[in-house]
A = this chain, B = another copy of it.
């Protein structure tokens, strides 16, 4: 904060709030902020009154550092929770100081409101400041992610048991969800990230999910799931074939597997995101496969961190305990054909720890239950 010349920092990104406080309740659809002020020893969490009890239950914060703003600020076209947050900022420090905001994640009218109501303050854009710090995990965070990864693994294995010709997609996916919530090793999922369960002929699409159909012999399922432990995720993708995979699918799988191996081999503290991407694209090129999308992104709280990308030109240097979803997802092979394989990984001094551990294969499943 001193480096950026701010003596109040207003954190509104919901994942950053989780990082700073432990709060995971899903209340970010209305304004809320953790305000860190050099005038005060402890941060203050300002949120909607009906959500304040969740902050008291979930966080370390003292009772007088959790402020529930009145319900009258909800659903009013003229005022909202940001007015309470700005009132607090005005109350705790001089009006002409530097105030740090995560402007990149504020809706335009809210950013304007901060500027209009703090006319003498110097507004400093601190978007990404906390998010970048989150990139290197503590050992405690890593242990949560290992727990999440074990749940993800269990979900993939359950999928391999339940995906069969003749089964309704919703019956398969609801079994997978059940596993993701019941958890693994006595550690339940603490939230459900709804699975992407994408079947032929829609496997070229990245973010749709199941249909009302019945799984068929010859169909392909692209599954992308993530276990969740106290906000932390460990995503993973696998591709399933009901019956013998087509030659096209088998060829793509072999190329993408080679790409994944090359990517894993390139990960090490001191290398860059670019280096990892280069290793993957180079291998795919040799195998005659074009992949246009990036090869992954940092993970942690709430799935994706908006910081680096595993793509060419991203010179972010890898450090121990950075974590990524190393994603060989390739949706655009043809409009109706895509393929997925990915792992959640941790960067180590000497290489990589793969957090997810379900078999790294194209699952070939029996046509009949």
Binding site for B on A (CB under 8 A): 24-27, 29, 48-51, 53-54, 56-58, 68, 70-72, 74-76, 103-112, 168, 170-171, 173-175, 177-178, 181-183, 187-192, 194, 196, 202, 204-210, 212, 292-294, 297, 304, 308-309, 311, 314, 329, 331-332, 335-336, 338
Question: Which residues from chain B contact A24 at a C-beta distance below 8 Å?
Answer: 208
By a CB distance below 8 angstroms, the chain B residues around A335 are 53, 56
| Pairwise interchain contact A71-B293, C-beta atoms closer than 8 A | yes
| Residues of B close to A108: CB separation below 8 A | 103-104, 106-108, 110-112
Q: How many copies does the complex hold?
A: 2
Closest chain B residue to A30 by CB distance?
Answer: B207
Contact of A57 among B173, B202, B297 (CB under 8 A): B202
A290 → chain B closest CB, angstroms = 11
Q: Which B residues touch A112, using CB under 8 A?
A: 108
Q: Which residues of B contact A170 (CB under 8 A)?
A: 181-183, 188-189
Residues of chain B within 8 A (CB-CB) of A168 are 182, 188
Q: Using Cβ atoms and an 8 Å threshold, which residues of chain B touch A173? A: 181
Q: What is the CA–CA distance of A356 and B196 in the complex, to the nearest angstrom?
A: 28
Q: Which residue of chain B is the closest to A198 with respect to CB atoms?
A: B54
B contact residues around A210 at 8 Å (CB): 190
Whether B70 contacts A292 by the Cβ 8 Å rule is yes
Instruction: Point out the residues of chain B lying under 8 angstroms from A206, CB to CB.
Output: 25, 27, 48, 50-51, 54
- A3 to chain B: closest CB distance in Å? 20
Q: Give the most central of A177, A205, A336: most B CB within 10 Å.
A: A205
Residues in B with CB closer than 8 Å to A177 are: 174, 177-178, 181, 192
